Chains A and B, each alone.
Chain A
Amino acid sequence: MENLIEINNLTFSRSGRVIYDDISLQIKKGKTTAIMGPSGIGKTTMLRLMGGQLLPDKGDIKFKGESIPSMRRSRLFEVRRQMSMLFQSGALFTDMSVFDNIAFPLREHTKLSESIIHTVVMLKLQAVGLRGAAGLMPAELSGGMARRAALARAIALDPELIMYDEPFAGQDPISMGVLVKLIKALNDALQLTSVVVTHDVSEVLTIADYIYILAEQRVIGSGTPEQIKNSDSPLVQQFLQGQADGPVPFHYPASSIAKAFLGSAS
């Protein structure tokens, strides 16, 4: 199957700290790929690298065979029209109503008449169950509703790729269930390619076709949900089962407790 995104031997560091060290991964077209890993491992950074918002130190990121880091800004903006991103906070424009937020990319990038824009926006809002909330301002939405409205905006231009940044973080069980259902339904109905960055294990195992687990600046495990569940890597198992201690230690590196407390006496 064709790869929509190919990441080859990517190295990326920020403020002197290495985030990724020579990692490679592929995002298959039409599939949902999950990128998982402990907090602070740089999962969101991966999405920003894919979207060309950050540049790698070494290695390449290809979108449909075209290198994103070496694109000119104008070409990058053209390519971004084929991709979309659902931000963790939703990132709705706070000075616009829900309707105007979803109409925004259509007004910016198309010459559709206002009546057609109205129809498209209402259809997108219907798809996420928020047609009745079109006139509300973002401040009037709950966290789950804001994320659904942002999802409607993300699919407004019918992108080929949609990147979800921690879509389930901070959601109550009902909102989480709604988002899982929506991501799966949209992927199937619109033939999208999805990249879901998350650390919510149970949700992602139900929707992902392929999973990468990142830790220690590299890919520590990859495969279908079944392969990941049966992985014999202790690090992968610690992550999946949420064990407090293991290859990722409970304690932040420190000198020994005896030395710390009794050092002056001994």
Chain B
Amino acid sequence: MNFLINLGASTLNRLEMFGRATFMLFGAIIAKPQPLKMIPLIIKQIHIVGVQSLLIIVISGLFIGMVMALQGYTILVDYGAEGSLGPMVALSLLRELGPVVTALLFAGRAGSALTAEIGLMKATEQLSSLEMMAVDPLRRVIAPRLWAGIISMPMLALIFSAVGILGGHLVGVDWLGVDSGSYWSIMQSTVDWNKDVLNGVIKTIVFAFVITWIATFKGYDSIPTSEGISKATTETVVFSSLAVLGLDFILTALMFGIE
């Protein structure tokens, strides 16, 4: 009986939290557009969440591309199909690894920082002071961060995939001796713009939206104590990662599952 009571209470709490998150989202993005004020704020946030995440994205992309080429080569060479290394690396990166690994890195690097920053703004009464100055914190603080995440992450994922393809070239062509012409030409003829590149970008936009929504909401809804902010930051990374992996399966099934 207690189990059912706890389950019911927990479900109600989650539903209530989802309701609060939806209210926050609507308050932040459904607003009278004020481009003159909003654009500089978005650009500043793109610098913080996007540009400052570049290093980790580039390094991770490079290593993942290199590892994939190494693993792929050892399998393909047995069948004399090492010429297909290029499309294997490119398709894996563009369809799956680019969007998913970028999203996981983005949640850890930028999502956690967003939650901690907004949580601390709440704890130090900066959000309250904005409200008392008749400035809506949802539009001033939350909205620019949401848009910056949604704009930056697809670009980061494309950079991740591009660097990964170059990493694959470094290992496959320059080190293991796969023919450079076949690496690029088979990739060109195999990779489809709509099916592979565009679907990957759509996935990234969905992941970016979910991660920044979770990160900003967790900060905005955090208990304004050091323990509360620590918990909110952890939850951002855990919830975002799980949401990304779950959504990836659903999106992959929708995009590539049914032919």
Whether the pair B132, A53 counts as a contact (CB closer than 8 A) is: yes
Max chain B Cβ within 10 angstroms of own Cβ: one of A48, A85, A91, A108: A91
Residue of A nearest to B120 (CB): A94
Whether the pair B134, A80 counts as a contact (CB closer than 8 A) is: yes
Whether the pair A91, B134 counts as a contact (CB closer than 8 A) is: no
Interface presence of A93 (CB below 8 A): yes
Interface presence of B128 (CB below 8 A): yes
User: In chain A, residues 136-176, which have Cβ atoms closer than 8 Å to a Cβ of chain B?
Assistant: none
Complex formed: what's the CA distance from A109 to B134 in Å?
Answer: 9
Choose one: B37, B124, B125, B132; the contact of A83 (CB below 8 Å): B132
Whether the pair A77, B136 counts as a contact (CB closer than 8 A) is: yes
Choose one: A48, A80, A88; the contact of B133 (CB below 8 Å): A80
CB A95 to nearest CB in B, in angstroms, measures 9
Whether the pair B134, A78 counts as a contact (CB closer than 8 A) is: yes
Whether the pair B133, A105 counts as a contact (CB closer than 8 A) is: yes
User: In chain A, residues 62-95, which have Cβ atoms closer than 8 Å to a Cβ of chain B?
Assistant: 77-78, 80-81, 83-85, 87-89, 91-94
Complex formed: what's the CA distance from A104 to B134 in Å?
Answer: 11
| Chain A contacts for B126, CB-based, 8 A | 91-94
Whether the pair B125, A88 counts as a contact (CB closer than 8 A) is: yes
Choose one: A53, A104, A108; the contact of B128 (CB below 8 Å): A53
User: In chain A, residues 83-122, which have Cβ atoms closer than 8 Å to a Cβ of chain B?
Assistant: 83-85, 87-89, 91-94, 104-105, 108-109
Interface presence of B188 (CB below 8 A): no
A89-B124, A94-B124 are known contacts. Are A77 and B129 too (CB-CB below 8 A)? no
Whether the pair B135, A91 counts as a contact (CB closer than 8 A) is: no
| Chain B contacts for A77, CB-based, 8 A | 134, 136
Interface presence of B131 (CB below 8 A): yes
| Chain A contacts for B128, CB-based, 8 A | 48, 53, 87, 91
Interface presence of A42 (CB below 8 A): no
Choose one: B37, B134, B136; the contact of A81 (CB below 8 Å): B134
Count contacts on B: residues with CB < 8 A to the other chain.
12
Q: Quick one: CB contact mask for A40-55 with B, threshold 8 Å, 1 for yes?
A: 0000000010010100
Choose one: A80, A93, A104, A109; the contact of B131 (CB below 8 Å): A80
Complex formed: what's the CA distance from A89 to B129 in Å?
Answer: 10
CB A53 to nearest CB in B, in angstroms, measures 6
| Chain A contacts for B136, CB-based, 8 A | 77
| Chain A contacts for B37, CB-based, 8 A | 108
CB A185 to nearest CB in B, in angstroms, measures 22
| Chain A contacts for B131, CB-based, 8 A | 51, 53, 80
Residue of B nearest to A108 (CB): B135
CB B56 to nearest CB in A, in angstroms, measures 22
Choose one: A51, A78, A91; the contact of B125 (CB below 8 Å): A91
Whether the pair B132, A84 counts as a contact (CB closer than 8 A) is: yes
| Chain B contacts for A87, CB-based, 8 A | 125, 128-129
| Chain B contacts for A84, CB-based, 8 A | 132-133
User: In chain B, residues 56-97, which have Cβ atoms closer than 8 Å to a Cβ of chain A?
Assistant: none
User: In chain B, residues 109-135, which have Cβ atoms closer than 8 Å to a Cβ of chain A?
Assistant: 124-126, 128-129, 131-135
Residue of A nearest to B135 (CB): A108
Choose one: B124, B132, B133; the contact of A108 (CB below 8 Å): B133
CB A111 to nearest CB in B, in angstroms, measures 11
Whether the pair A51, B132 counts as a contact (CB closer than 8 A) is: yes
Whether the pair A85, B132 counts as a contact (CB closer than 8 A) is: yes
CB A165 to nearest CB in B, in angstroms, measures 9
| Chain B contacts for A91, CB-based, 8 A | 124-126, 128-129
Complex formed: what's the CA distance from A149 to B135 in Å?
Answer: 19
CB A104 to nearest CB in B, in angstroms, measures 7
| Chain A contacts for B132, CB-based, 8 A | 51, 53, 80, 83-85
Max chain A Cβ within 10 angstroms of own Cβ: one of B124, B132, B135: B132
| Chain A contacts for B124, CB-based, 8 A | 89, 91, 94
| Chain A contacts for B134, CB-based, 8 A | 77-78, 80-81, 108-109
29 CB contacts below 8 A, A to B, read A51-B132, A53-B128, A53-B131, A53-B132, A77-B134, A77-B136, A78-B134, A80-B131, A80-B133, A80-B134, A81-B134, A84-B132, A85-B129, A85-B132, A87-B125, A89-B124, A91-B124, A91-B125, A91-B126, A91-B128, A91-B129, A92-B126, A93-B126, A94-B124, A94-B126, A108-B37, A108-B134, A108-B135, A109-B134
B residues neighboring A (CB under 8 Å): 37, 124-126, 128-129, 131-136
List the 5 closest A-B pairs by CB distance, nearest first: A91-B129, A91-B125, A80-B134, A77-B134, A85-B132
Known A-B contacts: A80-B131, A80-B133. Give 8 more (CB < 8 A): A48-B128, A51-B131, A77-B136, A80-B134, A85-B129, A85-B132, A91-B126, A108-B135
